[in-house]
Amino acid sequence: MKKDMKKSKSDNSNYSMETRLLLGKDFTEKWDFSHHVTAPISSSTTFRLDSVDRGARGFMQFGNIEDFIEDPIFIYDRLGEPNKDILEENLAFAEEGESAVTFATGMGAISAIMGILTKSNDEVIAHNTMYGCTISLFNNWYPRYNIRVIYTNLTNKENLVENITEKTKVIYFETPSNPNLDIIDIKAVRKIIDIENQKRDDANKIYIVIDNTFSTPYCQRPIKFGADFVVHSLTKGIGGFGTDMGGVVIGPKKFKGMLLLYRKDFGAVLSTKAAWAILTYGLPTVALRQKKQIETAQKIAEYLEKHPKIEFVNYPGLKSYKHHEVAKKQMLDFEGNFAPGSIIYVVLKGNNPAESKENGSKFMDYIAENAYTLTLAVSLGHSRTLIEHPASMTHSVIPAEELESRAIDPGGVRIAIGLENADDIISDIEKSLEII
């Protein structure tokens, strides 16, 4: 790479985050941006080494993560290549964290951060409501490694204090949680862990890991409130269009080497084509999309809340929502405005849980067949509005008798708002509710 590469045009720190996310970093040591407007896709799994010495220096660089590498030497895609590396710089910037490492999927990212922070005999404290595959990872695989996961309701901080033991190594949660949108006070968790960590030496600290997928960095930056690490499924709101899978861990620079080593050896590497799409279309438009989706979600949540066939609506933007006040403290856009996200959780009325579940199924089946603006599908953060039934789809790993303790209603419906006109979505929902 040439040394006379163009440096950053000017100090851009006075521009809004909306603009800075759209344009990205206009200088990177990973690519010659003097001549490309959009980063090209790197389609090379391996890289020419001019000499054995260059190869040796490349491997040395991989082991020693420096602040700024003047002359990055790429060796092999699984170790690092320009598209992922540029995306990582921009994701760390968006989350206001020090460094980022991408993975093939959100689950790849979650298993990597948990993989480097835990070992046999350790304990993890996790919120009782989370993404189904994260629960599956903890329940189906961690017993093999003798890692114990204690689930508790972290919206009540007493539950955290009570469950900490000397074996505790990680506090893990989503806020808002998938699918029911529990909000956990990040600062309050930080405070409790700080007190506990004072008693521990450096090798034994407890780390806080937050899955920020539901918010995207536009609506919440947990590191600012005390999280050590943030993970994302890039497949969702950051990717934004439902075309590519990806995941990322963002956190302190000193862990970057371990995360890269884990990725290299376990192999969940983000493909260059996916990295390129997320870098080119997803991240630059996240502010634009989230803004519109929040506006629509607020309108739909308010509509649903008043509907006679609806039992209750969980949406952080609703004043009636029990976690509204906590959400207002930490779900903030880059200008500090309340940004309650684009996901709504709703439960239909019924005389008993079975009837409520049946009404939910009827409603969704009608939508699957008739609604133009709503699609029955898992995933979220998409340009299209997606609706799904957690108890039988994304959270089917949870046995029926455990649903209640995990605060998932048998008839709960998750709506992930897209970019359609809000009134069109409301009109489709209205017609679909009429048939119940």
Coil, helix or strand for 280? helix
Is 211 a residue that touches ligand PLP (CB under 6 A)? yes
Pick the closer one to ligand PLP by CB: 27 or 142: 142
In this chain, which stretch among 128-136, 163-171, 181-189, 385-393 interacts with ligand PLP, using CB under 6 A? 128-136
| Backbone dihedral angles phi then psi of residue 419, each to the nearest 5 degrees | -105, 10
Pick the closer one to ligand PLP by CB: 93 or 103: 103
Here's the x/- map for ligand PLP, 55-94, by CB under 6 A: it reads as ----------------------------------------
The total number of residues shown for the chain amounts to: 436
Pick the closer one to ligand PLP by CB: 75 or 403: 403
Q: Is the Cβ–Cβ distance between 426 and 307 less than 8 Å?
A: no
- Distance of closest approach, residue 389 Cβ to ligand PLP, in angstroms: 15
Per the structure block, which two tokens stand in for 215?
Answer: 């918010």
Q: How far apart are the first and last CA of the chain?
A: 64
The residue at minimum Cβ distance from ligand PLP is: 106
Return all residues near 24 (Cβ < 8 A) that are at least 6 apart: 86, 90, 279, 283, 284
Sign of CA dihedral 74, 78, 80, 83: positive
Write the DSSP symbol of residue 332: B
- Distance of closest approach, residue 239 Cβ to ligand PLP, in angstroms: 9
Here's the x/- map for ligand PLP, 404-423, by CB under 6 A: it reads as --------------------
Pick the closer one to ligand PLP by CB: 90 or 134: 134
Q: Is the Cβ–Cβ distance between 325 and 374 less than 8 Å?
A: no
E strands, 24-147, are 99-103, 123-127
The residue from 24, 106, 251, 411 that contacts ligand PLP (CB under 6 A) is: 106
Q: Is the Cβ–Cβ distance between 160 and 194 less than 8 Å?
A: no
Pick the closer one to ligand PLP by CB: 73 or 343: 343
Q: Is the Cβ–Cβ distance between 249 and 91 less than 8 Å?
A: no
- Distance of closest approach, residue 138 Cβ to ligand PLP, in angstroms: 12
Is 236 a residue that touches ligand PLP (CB under 6 A)? yes
Q: Among the residues of 244-323, which ranges form H helices?
A: 256-266, 272-277, 286-306
- Distance of closest approach, residue 135 Cβ to ligand PLP, in angstroms: 10
Is 385 a residue that touches ligand PLP (CB under 6 A)? no
Is 122 a residue that touches ligand PLP (CB under 6 A)? no
- Distance of closest approach, residue 247 Cβ to ligand PLP, in angstroms: 5
Distances (CA, A) of 340 to 66, 92, 118, 188, 289: 37, 22, 32, 19, 13
Is 107 a residue that touches ligand PLP (CB under 6 A)? yes
Is 47 a residue that touches ligand PLP (CB under 6 A)? no
Type and span of the H or E element at 208: strand 207-211
Residue 95: name the closest of 258, 234, 204 by CA.
234
In this chain, which stretch among 7-15, 209-217, 342-350, 415-423 interacts with ligand PLP, using CB under 6 A? 209-217
- Distance of closest approach, residue 5 Cβ to ligand PLP, in angstroms: 34
- Distance of closest approach, residue 185 Cβ to ligand PLP, in angstroms: 18
Return all residues near 149 (Cβ < 8 A) that are at least 6 apart: 123, 124, 125, 126, 138, 139, 142
Here's the x/- map for ligand PLP, 142-161, by CB under 6 A: it reads as --------------------
Distances (CA, A) of 231 to 103, 139, 250, 257: 10, 19, 6, 17
Here's the x/- map for ligand PLP, 169-208, by CB under 6 A: it reads as -----x---x------------------------------
The residue from 42, 118, 155, 213 that contacts ligand PLP (CB under 6 A) is: 213
Distances (CA, A) of 225 to 65, 210, 220, 316, 408: 26, 11, 9, 18, 27
Residues that bind ligand PLP (CB under 6 A): 105-107, 131, 133-134, 174, 178, 211, 213-214, 233, 235-236, 245, 247
